[in-house]
Structure 1
Amino acid sequence: MRYFPMFLDLRDRPVLIAGGGEQAAQKVRLILRVAPRIAVMAPELDDELAALAAEGRIRHVACVYDEAEVDRAVATFCASGCVGVDAWISARIRARGGVVNVVDKPRLCSAITPALVDRDPLVVAIGTEGVAPVMAQRVKTMAEGWLEPGLGAFLAEMARLRPVMAETALAPDPRRFWNWIMDGPRARAAGGDLAGAVAEVRAAIAAGAAPAVAADGRLTLIALPEAGMDLLPLRAVRRMQEADLVVHPPETPAEALELARRDAERLAVSALPAAEIAQRAARGQSVAALVPPAAWDAACAAAEGAGLSPERLFAGRAHPSHPDPAP
């Protein structure tokens, strides 16, 4: 990974767009969502930018290059259409460690602008380091379909309830309470009943527990695919992201462990510690165990011997010992 993903707070910070044509206008449309202090540096502006300048929404700097403007900006986007001008601006900004993006010129950038899915306050940024913008757009399309248009309004309502949640003892724990919110009330809001969804969450907060959340723990056995982590079923990925503890063999690929929550506990062992997992499940914890094919039968036997009834998930097909395939 060459570029570190980070979100910048540009409110009330000076932003510079170099260029006055369509590419510059595209950047202005994007940046106006978050930064009202935009200067557009170009001898002339196209009709769209000229109208924005007349409305006072952007400030026109009527020249090709203004050193004071370049040095003042905390973020600069170059779209002048002239490689020489853009390279000159980029070199000055990078020399002082500033943030600069040059349209279609990754080698001149200290930052790149990703494809965005905007469900404010939820924002998804998709980057390909400038090498595959078509792929980024395809992923964006997938995310747009998964994240319903009204999700932002629902999340904004949940944000207003956060202080009350923080002062309330929620059963079985806050993270599972939030999982219930995303599985239940979110679906209600997506169906058009935002007020009902908010009322449902308020009632659960008042009761101190979500009605559909069980306090019991869970063990999920996940068969490690031999041909790559992209073969894992979506449910397996979700179980890893929900798990309090991820049990895995010492030789587990890093790409598999990256699917787990960052704050999940990890335990590298050669054999399934069924007794310890049973104790954790009794305390309401969720455990995801990554199991190599050769150890599958032994892991299932150990879990059942400890009195556990694990969920079993496989890549693409059922394990011979357990013919029910995972969705």
Structure 2
Amino acid sequence: MSTDAPERRTYSYLGPAGTFTEAALAQVPEARGQIWKAVSNVGQALDDVVTGRSDAAMIAIENSVEGGVSSAQDALSTIPGLRIVGEYLVPVRFSLVAPRGTALADVVARDLVAVAGHPVAYAQCLTWLGETIPHHEHVVASSNVASALGMLDGSLPAQVAIVAPGVAEHYDVEVLAENIGDNQNAVTRFVLVTGTVAPAAPTGADKTSLVAELPKDEPGALLELLEQFSTRGINLSLLESRPIGDALGRYRFVIDADGHVFDERVADALMGVRRFSPNVVFLGSYPRADRQVVHYPHRYGDEAFVEARDWLRALVAGEPGA
């Protein structure tokens, strides 16, 4: 009997260690004990999947404060052969850190404090900074991790840095304050992306993601697209427009619909979108991160669709009593 251990799977994520993306990947049970590959951007993560260098990639796709992550949406819209197989939510928390041995009182006492931070992180901490360290200036960093590393190695002229909580677990820094973000309810939504696979069985608490283009720029075109869902009782939890890029006024729409492609109402809606749109990209049906069961009126249930279809077939066949 063979004693060879099963081959380990590789997961790409936006690194290095300590990022929010790493925290999302830590939520994936099947990723534990596997190979985690840190990459520098979304494009590289998805290219790893397409080329087979990785089995899956974890990417951020939406933030409750900033909205959709355009680079991720555009990549999923244009790179063929990808599927979303799961989503994960990570609370957005920020900490203020400094070199080891620094106290917050020492920082506040300075005439001017240089704060390193990614622009998005800095913008989400302005209230706390204004109240606690009003005499500060912002030093732009390329990421939450880069703000800490630049402060530590001197490549950024900063005395303190705004970081994700995980950064303090991986680097030798002093945590001066925690939860300094202005919005304590901020959440980032991440998705796990693989190559093309058949959707997993529905759970009853599912979401379907797709991208669709309008056939032409004319009054009512968007309404007609949305009617494919509304007339089938399907709620949309995300609808964002992204420019196609070939001409002004040309847009594609990134859509998250409640339900699973195996649900009759969702499948019927997708066929309606396919008839209407010149280009539809199915991104996947997968369990919702919040596990909230999708509710809908009885008339949109699978049984109602099957009964209506059987009724029509009886009519066409000329069956008595149809």
Shorter-chain TM-score bucket reads: under 0.3
Kindly name which structure, 1 or 2, has the bigger radius of gyration based on alpha carbons: 1
Structure with more helix by fraction: 1
- Indicate the structure with greater strand content: 2
User: TM-score, length-normalised on structure 1?
Assistant: 0.22
